[in-house]
């Protein structure tokens, strides 16, 4: 099994475009592909791969529930909680499930077994098929702040074999780390603008901190593409594909179409990208 | 003082470029860059930093190996798979336990239950935040450390500092560049604001994200308006967004044409208002007027 993550520091650089087209090409080339959309706040992969969903699994975390009969108001639960999700005032214990990280500390510490854990739903994981690609995504409930457990649940549904392509959320903080940690390879998508490259720099720092092999795809690139090439040379990362700034791509995207479907002349570009990744994966594994 | 938060669902819809442009049009604004994961506003506004502070979000556990006797309780109690064990390098008969700082959620359960009191629990420095001066007004911004948690907390901090500056000095507007998504940092950015402006694009993804963002802002009861950027790349979807927005009580206050002046302005470190006098400037001005009208 190989895990390839498609990520970017900044949103809207074309991460989903690259991930969905790559999945489709890999599928056409006979790979066993699992597409995991871990951008659970704004999942969009399904708009392009249009899977038929077959499974819908609610995902939750265990949060404390206090039995007033057994509670002695000792306050130990409130002391151990780092997130102020359980509070003890005189003769009342209050819980704030929205703040709870489900660490289990309060339940473990309670001397009278007054706490049991109940499930709090964060969102759902849906599973389906798009041609021969296994498609999995997570949808975070509206108003929900806690996305990492749902991202973990999406990843856990992935198969133990084949090529797993993960569409990661944008940024560099906890949701992204949850989506890319322990991957075999990270593909960083950027665009050749000052904002795009600034955020690419942060994304490079992140994958290096995690010690993950990585390379760059420049999206909406112009023919000479100097600023992105200079930037990547300076930072010592390879550019393994450049997708030109073609208005027809933007139009296909706006309609929810895959590039390789709407504009078959780009098939070759994605086949090359896929082969480059395969090669980098095999060298990364040898190392 | 009115607080206007500009968000975008996915990001990459031109949100930061528009915030920079609105900043040039607004009457004595204070700016807050709450996109702490990918803070880009400073690239255009070139802030002069007046004050700099460390930010410390949550605590992190660390095993002091001299005190650890290898009982393994920490690993047993950790629900985040953050404790790893390995053969002890000096003593092959014993296990050595270490905590992966990236996986550690900072819950402190291992610290509490370690019988040897061998686990330190200190707040690391997760980032920095700044109060600066720019050519358009005061700005509060931040830089979150790489791979750090608690961006929601940092967003709250940046916002409240910016609010304080605006209120103390009688600034009429606070303009917030918000983070992408609908999760914890976005919730931290929009709760209690006067107006949310969603910058979207006429694409099926843009439409889908707009719907989720709108549900979020209604969930928190914040009035919301929409600005369609690059409206001419797909007139059909633009029309659909207009209709949906009308139905959802989320008026479209402006639409801006596709124009590469935005990128060119970015390269010149200026806002599109400062960069050009082309027709796109009229679009931006009309949008800003629409926003003021909605307040
Ligand atoms: S630790 Fe248990 S007994 Fe003590 S206050 Fe909490 S719930 Fe009640
Ligand atoms: S499970 Fe952990 S985070 Fe949740 S209330 Fe208990 S101690 Fe706090
Ligand atoms: S619980 Fe404490 S003593 Fe036991 S292995 Fe962990 S750190 Fe070492
Ligand atoms: S603080 Fe919590 S998450 Fe971190 S290692 Fe200890 S038990 Fe695990």
What backbone torsions phi and psi does residue B36 show, to the nearest 5 degrees? -70, -20
For range B99-117, the mean pLDDT = 94
Rounded CA Rg of chain B: 23
**Does A100 lie in the same domain as A192?**
no
Tell me which of 3.90.70.10, 3.20.20.70, 3.30.9.10, 3.30.70.20 is the CATH number of domain B60-122.
3.30.70.20
Q: What distance in angstroms lies between residue A103's CA and the mean position of ligand 2's atoms?
A: 5
**Does A50 lie in the same domain as A151?**
yes
**Does A164 lie in the same domain as A77?**
no
On whether the CB atoms of residues A11 and A170 are closer than 8 A, the answer is yes
What residue ranges of chain B are covered by domains with CATH 3.30.70.20?
60-122
Mutate which: A14, A42, A152, A170, vs B, most B CBs within 10 A: A42
Most confident of the following: A175-179, B132-136, B144-148: B132-136
Tell me the residue range of the domain where A106 lies: 68-113
Interface of B with A in 267-286 (CB under 8 A): 267, 269
**Does A270 lie in the same domain as A163?**
yes
| The pLDDT value given to residue B150 | 67
pLDDT at A255 over 80: yes
**Does A83 lie in the same domain as A44?**
no
Reported confidence tier of residue A287, pLDDT bands at 50, 70, 90? low
**Does A87 lie in the same domain as A226?**
no
**What CATH number does the domain located at B2-56+126-294 have?**
3.40.50.300
Which ranges in B67-134 belong to alpha helices (H)? 73-77, 109-113
User: Can you give the CATH number for the domain in which A98 is found?
Assistant: 3.30.70.20
Note the ipTM here: 0.84
| The pLDDT value given to residue B294 | 93
User: Can you give the CATH number for the domain in which A184 is found?
Assistant: 3.40.50.300
| The pLDDT value given to residue A127 | 95
**Does A187 lie in the same domain as A108?**
no
Query: CA–CA separation, B189 vs B35, rounded Å?
Result: 9
Residue numbers in A near B60 (CB within 8 A): none
Q: Are A251 and B233 in contact (CB < 8 Å)?
A: yes
| The pLDDT value given to residue A286 | 60
Q: Are B12 and A13 in contact (CB < 8 Å)?
A: yes
**Does A92 lie in the same domain as A29?**
no
C-alpha distances (whole Å) from B18 to each of A65, A95, A171, B44, B59 are: 46, 41, 20, 11, 36
pLDDT at B126 over 80: yes
Distance from CA of A286 to the nearest CA of B (A): 22
pLDDT at A277 over 70: yes
Distance from CA of A165 to the nearest CA of B (A): 19
Residue A171 domain-assigned (yes or no): yes
| Atom 7 in ligand 4: residue holding the nearest Cα | B78
Distance from CA of B108 to the nearest CA of A (A): 7
Closest CB to A254 among B11, B186, B203: B203
| The pLDDT value given to residue A229 | 93
**Does A172 lie in the same domain as A191?**
yes
Mutate which: A9, A12, A208, vs B, most B CBs within 10 A: A12
User: How many domains, in total, are found in chain A?
Assistant: 2
Q: Does any CB of chain A come closer than 8 Å to the CB of residue B149?
A: yes
**Does A245 lie in the same domain as A191?**
yes
Residue A118 domain-assigned (yes or no): no
Rounded CA Rg of chain A: 22
Q: Does any CB of chain A come closer than 8 Å to the CB of residue B177?
A: no
What residue ranges of chain B are covered by domains with CATH 3.40.50.300?
2-56+126-294
**Does A228 lie in the same domain as A157?**
yes
**Does A100 lie in the same domain as A36?**
no
């Amino acid at each position: 099994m190989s895990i390839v993550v498609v990520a970017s520091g900044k949103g809207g650089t074309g991460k989903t475009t690259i991930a969905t087209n790559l999945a489709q090409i890999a599928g056409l080339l006979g790979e066993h592909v699992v597409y995991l959309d871990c951008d659970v706040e704004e999942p969009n992969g399904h708009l392009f791969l249009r899977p038929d969903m077959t499974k819908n699994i609610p995902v939750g975390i265990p949060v404390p529930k206090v039995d007033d009969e057994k509670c002695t108001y000792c306050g130990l639960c409130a002391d151990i909680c780092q997130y102020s999700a359980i509070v003890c005032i005189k003769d009342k214990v209050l819980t704030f499930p929205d703040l709870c990280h489900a660490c289990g500390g309060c339940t473990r510490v309670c001397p009278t077994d007054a706490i049991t854990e109940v499930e709090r739903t964060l969102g759902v994981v849906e599973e389906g098929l798009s041609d021969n690609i296994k498609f999995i995504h997570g949808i975070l409930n509206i108003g929900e702040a806690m996305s990492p457990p749902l991202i973990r649940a999406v990843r856990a549904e992935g198969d133990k074999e084949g090529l797993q392509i993960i569409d990661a959320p944008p940024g560099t903080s906890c949701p992204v780390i949850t989506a890319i940690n322990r991957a075999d390879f990270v593909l960083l998508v950027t665009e050749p603008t000052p904002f795009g490259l600034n955020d690419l720099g942060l994304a490079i720092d992140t994958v290096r901190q995690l010690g993950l092999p990585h390379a760059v795809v420049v999206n909406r690139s112009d023919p000479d593409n100097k600023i992105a090439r200079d930037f990547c040379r300076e930072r010592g990362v390879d550019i393994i594909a450049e997708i030109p700034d073609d208005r027809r791509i933007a139009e296909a995207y706006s309609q929810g179409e895959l590039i390789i479907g709407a504009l078959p002349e780009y098939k070759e570009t994605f086949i090359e990208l896929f082969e480059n990744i395969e090669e980098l994966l095999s060298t990364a594994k040898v190392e | 003082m009115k607080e206007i938060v500009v968000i975008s669902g996915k990001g990459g819809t031109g949100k930061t470029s528009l915030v920079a442009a609105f900043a040039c049009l607004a009457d004595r604004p204070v700016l807050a860059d709450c996109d702490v994961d990918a803070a880009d506003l400073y690239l255009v506004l070139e802030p002069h930093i007046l004050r700099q502070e460390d930010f410390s979000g949550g605590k992190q556990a660390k095993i002091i190996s001299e005190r650890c006797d290898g009982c393994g309780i920490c690993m047993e109690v950790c629900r985040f798979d953050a404790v790893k064990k390995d053969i002890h390098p000096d003593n092959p008969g014993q296990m050595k336990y270490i905590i992966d700082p990236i996986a550690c959620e900072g819950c402190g359960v291992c610290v509490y239950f370690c019988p040897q009191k061998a686990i330190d629990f200190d707040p690391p420095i997760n980032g920095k935040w700044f109060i600066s001066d720019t050519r358009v007004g005061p700005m509060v911004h931040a830089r979150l450390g790489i791979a750090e948690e608690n961006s929601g907390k940092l967003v709250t901090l940046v916002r409240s500092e910016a609010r304080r500056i605006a209120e103390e000095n009688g600034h009429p507007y606070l303009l917030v560049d918000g983070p992408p998504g609908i999760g914890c940092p976005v919730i931290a950015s929009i709760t209690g604001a006067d107006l949310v402006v969603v910058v979207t694009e006429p694409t099926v993804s843009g439409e889908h994200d707009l719907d989720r963002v709108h549900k979020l802002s209604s969930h928190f009861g914040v009035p919301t308006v929409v600005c369609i950027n690059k409206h001419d790349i797909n007139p059909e979807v633009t029309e659909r967004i207009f209709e949906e927005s009308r139905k959802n009580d989320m008026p479209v206050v402006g639409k801006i044409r596709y124009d590469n002046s935005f990128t060119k302005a970015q390269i010149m470190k200026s806002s599109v208002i400062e960069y050009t006098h082309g027709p796109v400037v009229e679009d931006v001005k009309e949008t800003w007027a629409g926003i003021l009208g909605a307040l």
